[in-house]
Amino acid sequence: MPDRLVAARVLREESAAAGFAGFGIARAETPPRFDRFRGWIAEGRHAGMRYLEETLDVRESPESLLAGARSVVCLSFPHSAQARVAEDGSRFARYSLCAAEDGDVSDRADYHETLRKRALAAAEAARRRLPGEWSYRVCVDSTPLAERAFAAAAGLGWIGKNGCLLDARHGSYLLLAEIVTDLDLPPDQPVAEQCGACTRCLDACPTQAFVGPGVLDAGRCLSYWTIEHRGPIPDAWKESLGEHVFGCDLCQEACPFNARLGRLASLPGAGPRVPARAEILSMGKGAWRRRFGTTAVNRAARRGLQRNAAASAGACRDVSCRGALEQAARVAEPGLRDAARWALSRLEAAPR
């Protein structure tokens, strides 16, 4: 095995060369406060995300991902803080359509693959420089690992009251990756929480989804309903969607650590073009694959995003979607059909 200090330095250098802004090392053991996550699951706050419950033990133990794991190299990559707003006002979460500030990543690239390639490049470059035999596994958020907890333990930031990892330099607009390794690396120290008495993120939530600081009731979260949930959306949550078609950034937009960066923008049409609701509703399979098939938006799938667009059209009384909604009201997929019929009922009083 290489010298632990030398190995840490080499991994840090290669991670920076791969474009990661944050680097830290945590021990490959149960991360601090994981008992809170277990309690959150036990209380059913994860709504329909059964995979969180089913992978609970794996998330706690990096050794379940790599035999003999001793260290977790945690990496952060700032994504664009540019608001994703269509001409009709509909909104996508910032992370969904762009993975980099520097423009080297297409707005049609899935950040999972982008970050995986970067982290693999860093690990392989380090392997070429370090003597001896050692193993690693690269993880992005689709791998069951408590990545925010490990990132906080590694000193990349602290967990804010909205549950996001916060970095004083880059705010919370961060994508995370990890290199789990059997190298015994010196761990970094956590940083102190800096939220203080601020509750702007909690106050900004339109559905009061936060039970308390750091405790999210996913069943009340717009990101859950528009990204994770499958099937029809209950009417009460359709109304709450408003302009949100994929995810919600409101708790992050309210955070002073994001606002002070001076990178926020909310002008419609700024940044990568975001399709309007009517365009989304009319997308066939080919158009979907070309526009969203390789992006993080594909998590919702075509019919899921169309369901969201239909519900948003109803919530916003978007009469420009009437024709597309009439067609969607006849499809077989129950979630989209239900949302389209609900939206049409909301438009009945609107002029043609």
Give me the sign of the Cα torsion angle 143, 148, 154, 156. positive
Name the catalytic one among 102, 107, 141, 249: 141
d(C-alpha 183, C-alpha 161), whole Å: 33
Whether 272 contacts 84, CB under 8 Å: yes
- Give the side-chain half-sphere CA count within 13 A for 317: 7
- Indicate the residue type of 348: E
Q: Kindly report the backbone phi and psi dihedral angles of residue 133, in degrees, each rounded to the nearest multiple of 5, phi listed first.
A: -100, 130
Paired residues of 112 in beta bridges: none
Pair of tokens at residue 122: 């860093």
57 catalytic residue (yes or no): no
Q: Which residues contact 94 (CB under 8 A, 6 or more apart)?
A: 79, 80, 81, 82, 83, 84, 173, 249, 252
- Chain-centroid distance of CA 41 in Å reads 19
Among 229, 245, 211, which residue's Cα sits nearest to residue 86?
245
Whether 58 contacts 64, CB under 8 Å: yes
Catalytic residues: 141
